[in-house]
Amino acid sequence: MLPSHKTKIVCTIGPASSSPEVMEKMIRAGMNVARLNMSHGSFESHRSVVSALRAAARAAGARVAIMADLPGPKVRIGTIAPEPVVLRADSSFVLTTEEITGDATRATVNLERLPEVVKKGDILYLNDGVIQLEVSSVRGREVLCRVVVGGELRSRKGLNFPGIDLGVSAFTERDLECLAFAASEGIDAVSQSFVQSAADLHTLRKAADALGYRPFIIAKIERSIALDHIEEILAATDGVMIGRGDLGQEAPIERIAVIQKELTHKANQRAKPVITATQMLQSMTHNARPTRAEVTDVSNAILDGTDCVMLSEESAMGEYPVEAVAMLSKIAAAVEPRRGMVGVKEMYPGLGRNRSLKPFHLVAIGVEASLEYASPAAIFAPTQSGTTARGLAVFRPSVWIVAVSTEERTCQQLAFSYGVLPVHEKDYPDDWKSYARNWVAANGIEGDIAVLVEGPSAKHPDANHRMEIIGLGGL
């Protein structure tokens, strides 16, 4: 049975969703990708989740990719006791690199370089932006601050540095340990937290290569400094995640919607899958129904061109993880038909004038015309790496892109791309007409024709781009 929605759904697995029964229900409700937050839990607990996820996917008869979310250099305060404490506006607060038990006047920070990277007048944020600090002075291992906006503070809360280069790599020693675990478990994708430049992704990819591991790499855009390097980041990554939580502390909150739209469009143009994350259905952590604003947020992300929508706390810690997945499925199924296909010239303005046409663009124009005038049943895209299927997905065709691959790894990684239905075959069909006719009939799709799109591959780099119209019986 075909899914009801083409937008892919990413779900964070946590205490609320780690049982095999709940995971199977989430898969049946529409989960396409399971996210493991490596900032929490042991490798042993994650190993159990991986095993249970794969068993649940088999039971549900569905393909589910697994993504390991690497912690990155998350800057946090240390222990506070007793907690919580309340920081008052205009009071003093000290951040120190010394290991202490914090209170309402001071706290440890897990960044040794803290006194080197901040200066008088810098604005810092604690506890997801609830608390705002202004640096008054730096003294030895201490950073003296004035509380601009106060609030409640507990142990291990995050500290954000908008626009400040921390001088540390996003890929840490802990990330290397997590990467080695992901490699040993054959996890499909890894997401790198707090990416600042392409160098962070090159470091990650080099470490993966050394392990003989080729995961799909997702760059998490959470720091404002990443926005200054977004072109090089997009060139170096396989996909992006728009982490609106930390990004909302790093960039002006009133600009987050615009930044989200711009990032989505830039990634679409490069055929790099986009995950929109953070607080998509936050109220469903404790409520059985989302707010209207949340439904609108999810809908607009889909209309803007996101490939995936993601649940975090809603599925990891919430009371309604299955219902939250089902709600995303319903929203996507209702919104997608309203979006319509994106034209080739709309996606790539100036194509043919100040931007040269490539062979793939010409094929895509042919696919666009066939969808407008002939209503094919499906698009078939044999692919080794997934490139052809991802390239077609950016135009958001109204029919499924059936990505047929002999590579299981490619099929798993295509779980991140909108409207792509990966199908693993040991060998490519000799007769695509029979294959397409049988697939369409088996899935109950009506239509007189199908479209076949092929391009060069690593095995056949000199092959031509081609599009073929396949008659299914009525043409």
Which among 76, 146, 270, 330 is annotated as catalytic? 76
Catalytic residue among 35, 157, 205, 223: 35
Quote the CA–CA distance of 19 and 16 in Å, as a whole number: 8
Separation between Cα atoms, residue 346 and residue 124, nearest integer Å: 40
Is 220 designated active site?
yes
Which member of 157, 220, 244, 272 is catalytic? 220
Is 405 within 8 Å of 424 (Cβ atoms)? yes
The Cα 349–Cα 364 span in angstroms is: 14
Residue of 12, 96, 278, 388 marked active site: 278
What is the rounded CA–CA span in Å between residue 275 and residue 306? 6
CB atoms within 10 A of CB 69: 26
Task: For residues 410 and 389, give the distance between their C-alpha atoms in angstroms, rounded to a whole number.
Answer: 10
Provide the residue type at 412 as one letter: Q
- CA-CA distance, 342 to 395, in Å (whole number)? 5
Beta pairing class for 131-139 and 123-126: antiparallel
Known catalytic residue at 276: no
Work out the end-to-end distance of the chain between its first and last CA atoms, rounded to an integer number of angstroms. Answer: 26
Report phi then psi at 260, rounded to 5. -60, -45
Phi-psi region of 129 (alpha: psi -120 to 50; beta: other; left: phi over 0): left
* Whether 64 contacts 33, CB under 8 Å: yes
Distance, CA of 44 to CA of 55 (rounded, Å): 17
Give catalytic status of residue 35 as yes or no.
yes
In sequence order, the 6+-apart residues with CB closer than 8 A to the CB of 149 are 89, 130, 131, 132
Q: Could you tell me which residues come within 8 angstroms of residue 187 by beta carbon, excluding any fewer than 6 positions away?
A: 36, 50, 66, 67, 68, 215
Return d(Cα 355, Cα 353) in angstroms, integer. Answer: 6
Helices (H), 8-158: 20-29, 43-60, 114-117
CA 257, CA 242: separation in Å to the nearest integer?
Answer: 11
- Which residues are catalytic, by number? 35, 76, 220, 278
